[in-house]
Amino acid sequence: MAVFVLDRHSRPLMPCSEKRARLLLERRRARVHRLMPFTIRLTDRRLNDCELQPLRLKLDPGSKETGVAIVRETIHDTDGTRTAIVLSLAEIVHRGRQISEALTARRSMRRARRGRKTRYRAPRFDNRRKPKGWLAPSLRHRVDTTAAWVRRFIELAPITALSMELVRFDMQAVENPEISGVEYQQGTLLGYEVKEYLLEKFGRICAYCDASDRPLETEHIVAKANGGSNRISNLTLACRPCNEKKGKLPLEIFLRKDPERAKRILARAKAPLRDAAAVNATRFALLDALKSCGLSVETGSGGQTKYNRRRLEIPKSHVLDAACVGEVHAVLDWQRSVLRIKCTGRGSYQRTRLTAHGFPRGYLMRNKRAFGFQTGDMVKAIVPTGKKTGTYVGRVAIRATGSFNIQTAAGAVQGISHKHCKVIQRGDGYGYQFVAQTTKESEKGATLRVAHYPSPA
């Protein structure tokens, strides 16, 4: 992963390699500006003294995770081909499900309290109206988090353009593949929209035998020989042996020994794709947020992303999908480590622990800080003597007594005095972890190996 570089006035310069950043730090020509993502600040350079190259930030928005790729784009003068050289990869892990569950729990507890024999609580006025463009908190979180990280990366690198996957699927082509005639049936994106939708809906396994280690084909539940159509509600996935064995047999006859599987296939074929619905609900809100950054924004579809990835023989993952978003003819240096950014929140306003029935069972500290530390801060503790002698780097969980717990890469260490702790990065509501891509990739997703983040100097 490339190291972000700032000039002496904290303005973004071209990212450099890890080796060059190490040399600059050793020669005292730079200082550590931020630990995650790792950023250095030069002490002897200004923006006017450096030559910058245009960078492009690419996004692959998802319901649970969003892939981010920062690339240096070159355009060939003769034929206009675009080559993307990957500089940095990041993956944002959203917490939309936790937000939804927390709001549901709060709502149920409030309703239970109002229904008990307690003091009278007047009902809230019910003439509230949602403003235009309103999104549920779990969906708004995805938009705000992604836009916040885009603005943060713009402050760390000379990014001049943005690219995003505007639609996960072309729903018009999914619903009726014949609607656009020659453009869809003979174009280079033929079948990619429908196939990608089916792969997501059926979990990338054969609907008849649950096979996942072989190529999957689009299968008609009601065969076309029996009058079946190409609508998405009549399509599923099957491996070649099952596809040939079923042929034009009705589903009930082919699965007469397993009627439960037949019911599941029919129910899943008609069910909507929840994650795709979440992405489609937030796509234009995210596009508007990106346009507010003042940079040019390029959009593309999920089918185009998959076509680029298949053509360039790049494994499947959110970050690599981001590198393949939009118009691109070649992607280089994509085998890089990935910075996994997990949304953890900044704590809770709630200072009382509740039971399952909504009654208080414990009380938290009135203040969220103790001895200058807050839960979630990344600290470095050097314990000189005692049973816990050593150096520990990780997240801190504060206590009012001053005896903290530190969550390190090797596990939790309890009972570390605040006197031995030093803040190396304030908690910002995110957890960071480096992961390295392995060489054995599959269509189901890039396998990631966890790598510990380096200790600061």
Q: What is the pLDDT of residue 407?
A: 92
- Give percent of the chain with pLDDT exceeding 90: 45
Domain ranges in the chain are 172-274, 356-427
* Residue pLDDT, tens place only, 301-345: 888 888 899 899 999 888 999 999 988 999 999 999 999 999 998
Asked if 172-274 and 356-427 have one fold, the answer is no
Q: Are 453 and 400 in contact (CB under 8 A)?
A: no
Q: Are 52 and 67 in contact (CB under 8 A)?
A: no
User: Is the CATH number 3.30.70 carried by domain 356-427?
Assistant: no
Q: What is the pLDDT of residue 273?
A: 61
Q: What is the pLDDT of residue 266?
A: 86
Q: What is the pLDDT of residue 457?
A: 37
Q: Which long-range contacts (CB under 8 A, 24 or more apart) does 43-49 make?
A: 43/8, 44/8, 45/7, 45/8, 45/13, 46/7, 46/8, 46/9, 47/7, 47/9, 47/11, 47/13, 49/7
Q: What is the pLDDT of residue 121?
A: 66
pLDDT band at 346 (very low <50, low <70, confident <90, very high): confident
* Residue pLDDT, tens place only, 211-249: 887 888 888 999 888 888 888 788 889 999 999 998 889
Cα 321 to chain centroid, rounded: 11
Mean pLDDT of the chain: 84
Dist. CA 309–CA 323, nearest whole Å? 9
Q: What is the pLDDT of residue 445?
A: 38
pLDDT tops 70 at residue 44: yes
* Residue pLDDT, tens place only, 410-424: 899 999 999 999 999
pLDDT band at 192 (very low <50, low <70, confident <90, very high): low
* Residue pLDDT, tens place only, 133-172: 889 999 999 999 999 999 999 999 999 999 999 865 555 5
pLDDT tops 90 at residue 120: no
Q: What is the pLDDT of residue 448?
A: 36
* Residue pLDDT, tens place only, 257-287: 888 988 888 887 776 666 667 787 888 899 9
* Higher pLDDT pick, 190 / 319: 319
* Residue pLDDT, tens place only, 356-406: 777 888 888 888 889 999 999 999 999 999 899 999 999 999 999 999 999
pLDDT tops 60 at residue 438: no
Q: What is the pLDDT of residue 187?
A: 47
Could you tell me which CATH class the domain 172-274 is placed in?
mainly alpha
Count, residues in the chain: 457
C-alpha angle 70/303/219, rounded to 5°? Answer: 145
pLDDT tops 70 at residue 427: yes
